[in-house]
Structure 1
Amino acid sequence: MAKRNPFEKYLKGEDLLQRAVINYITMAYPDAIFTHPMNEGKRTPFEQYKMKYLGAKPGIPDLLIFTPNANRSGLAIELKYKYNKPTDNQKKWLKWLEKCNWATFVHNDFDECINTINKYFKNEL
């Protein structure tokens, strides 16, 4: 029997949603170039200072797909759990990316998110 990771108990709803989306992209689009920027989370005062010092910006979307399609330069998705809404900084990032010819979305539902990703890779966005 495999040992459970002791940190799993700290994962929350949005973390689990993100992992499910990442698993889907990895299986359905193995050549996709994507990442989750590690901007959020509790940090020590030094880590906060260092992130700001090195140029980290608040509000960057949860999922960035850099693989362009025929119409867009990339796909940015802000994931929210249940009824959470994007922050002002998150809204700013989505607008900035739209100006750079990115498709941008906010999703709180796995199926809707997967539908968006599939449409993106089919050049329907």
Structure 2
Amino acid sequence: MSRPQLHAIHHVAIICSDYKASKRFYTELLGLKVLAENYRAARDSWKLDLALPNGNQLELFSFPNPPPRPSQPEAQGLRHLAFVVDNVAEFADYLTQNGVDVEPIRTDEFTAKAFTFFQDPDGLPLELYQR
């Protein structure tokens, strides 16, 4: 029997502490399109499906009293989520103008591409990576 193939990442799931703040951050500031928004009463939880332009998705969840991330940035689990952009400096300037702290832009030593890091409202490490 041949091994089945993985084709792509379908989605990345994020649990937030303040649903309204995170929804605004990902939809208004980062410009992701809402595919669906559902409240799950049995879990007292919102689930927001967001689309990236290439068809990948983010799922944004709220749960009552989620535990905080244990440490930054080298905690076990998701290290960071990287977004491809046309111009890292331009997007970093946009984020800075909107009150988001952005690390200095660096160059990937292996690809020579520009990249930088910033955080969502819950401190989740996010990266901008040059196309």
Both structures adopt the same fold (TM-score exceeding 0.5): no
More helix by share: 1
TM range (shorter): 0.3 to 0.5
The TM-score normalised by the length of structure 1 is 0.33
Q: Which has the higher strand share?
A: 2
TM-score, structure 2 normalization: 0.32
